[in-house]
Amino acid sequence: MEIFVQQFINALALGGTYALLALGLAMVFSVLGLINFAHGELMTITGYAMFFAIAAGIPFPIAVILGIAAATLAAILMERIAFRPVRDANTATMLLTSFAVSTILHMLFQNLISARPKAIPVPDWMIGAINLGGLSIGVIQVMSITATTLLLLALTVFLRRSILGIAMRAASLDFPVTRLMGINANAVIATAFGISGLLAGVAGVLWLAQRGSVDPLMGFLPVLKAFIAVVLGGLGSLPGAVLGGFVLAFIEVSLRAFLPDDWLPFRESITLTLVIILLLVRPEGLLGRKDAVR
């Protein structure tokens, strides 16, 4: 029972990180029809911003804020510099642009900083665990679950209450008609990128707290997972992206915890096989619309 609860919390914490990343991908996709493959680099930018901030003697909590701000700003700049000029081109052009942005950033990280991992010293209190009725829960896990919950709540309020939030939901269905409402297309798209950057920044901090270092390719794996989560949840559905992130994390954590030792090397393949089976049963994803065609 105890190990079960422990693993459940692990899965929630990991699922939160995937959910934040997947939600960022899904927000940009829903307004632009673009899967932004440079999304992972936003996490990496958070990492380097924190690395340099800490190296400059800035306290850890402020470095965290700077790291998140850096990812948000980078996402907005990415849209302005790379994606806006090709917005009216076809989807393949935008997709290739996102690969280019990703590759250029890799090169910059490698050549201007280092190809080797840079350590990010995490404060001691974050490495510890909290004792909760006999259960020891990692501080990082608690922070991860709390941050995810708060962000998802704030985002829900934003999407339900504010005009810009309602406009973003409208734009995910019908962009031209959203503009007919007098909604500025650039504002909607820039906001989507800004939020995706913010979420990637927070996910980056949570990811870094576990790893303790940043390297040029840091963002690749988690964003690949987030992409799987988005497809699993239903491309274009924001709640779907969140659900997909949690489902993926639960599958991964269960396999890691309960699979026999000699099966462990295959756990990624087993995870992906399960995802494929889910998609065979529901090709539109868990919460996707049947008629969703882009």
Partner 1 sequence: MSEQGNLLAIEGLAVRYGAIEAVRNASLEVREGEIVTLLGANGAGKSSILNAVMGLVPVAEGRVVFEGQDVAGQPPERIVRRGMTLCPEGRHVFSNLTIAENLKIGAASRRDKSEAAATQADMLALFPILDERRDQLAGTLSGGEQQMLAIARAMMSQPKIVLLDEPSLGLAPQIVDTIFELIVRLRDRGATILLVEQNVDLALEIADRGYVLATGDIVLSGPAADLRGSGDVERAYMGSH
Q: Which residues from 147-176 bind partner 1, rule CB under 8 A?
A: 163, 166-167, 169-170, 172-174, 176
Decide: is 190 part of the binding site for partner 1 (CB under 8 A). no
Nearest to partner 1 of 11, 26 (CB atom): 26
Whole-number Å distance between alpha carbons of 258 and 236: 33
Decide: is 265 part of the binding site for partner 1 (CB under 8 A). no
Q: Is the dihedral of CA 53, 54, 58, 60 positive or negative?
A: positive
| Residue 25-54 contact track with partner 1, rule CB under 8 A, x = bound | ------------------------------
Nearest to partner 1 of 148, 191 (CB atom): 191
Decide: is 140 part of the binding site for partner 1 (CB under 8 A). no
- Phi and psi at 162, nearest 5°, equal -85, 150
Which residue from 104, 181, 264, 272 is in contact with partner 1, where contact means CB under 8 A?
181
Nearest approach, Cβ of residue 240 and partner 1 (Å): 13
The SS3 of residue 198 is helix
Decide: is 182 part of the binding site for partner 1 (CB under 8 A). yes
Nearest to partner 1 of 56, 180 (CB atom): 180
Contacts of 262 (CB under 8 A, 6+ apart): none
Amino acid at 103: T
23 and 241 Cβ atoms separated by less than 8 Å: yes
Per CB under 8 A, which region of 97-105, 181-189, 200-208, 226-234 contacts partner 1? 181-189
Nearest to partner 1 of 228, 238 (CB atom): 238
Nearest to partner 1 of 10, 178 (CB atom): 178
Decide: is 293 part of the binding site for partner 1 (CB under 8 A). no
Task: Using alpha carbons, select from 192, 166, 168 the residue that is nearest to residue 24.
Answer: 192
Longest CA pairwise span in the chain (Å): 60
Decide: is 178 part of the binding site for partner 1 (CB under 8 A). yes
Q: Which residues from 201-260 bind partner 1, rule CB under 8 A?
A: none
End-to-end, the C-alpha distance of the chain in Å comes to 45
Nearest to partner 1 of 167, 253 (CB atom): 167
Q: Which tokens is 112 given?
A: 């201007």
Contacts of 182 (CB under 8 A, 6+ apart): none
Nearest approach, Cβ of residue 83 and partner 1 (Å): 17
The SS3 of residue 281 is helix
243 and 233 Cβ atoms separated by less than 8 Å: yes
Number of H helices, E strands in the chain: 12, 4
Which residue from 184, 221, 266, 283 is in contact with partner 1, where contact means CB under 8 A?
184
Amino acid at 35: I
Nearest to partner 1 of 3, 180 (CB atom): 180
Binding site residues, partner 1, CB under 8 A: 163, 166-167, 169-170, 172-174, 176-185
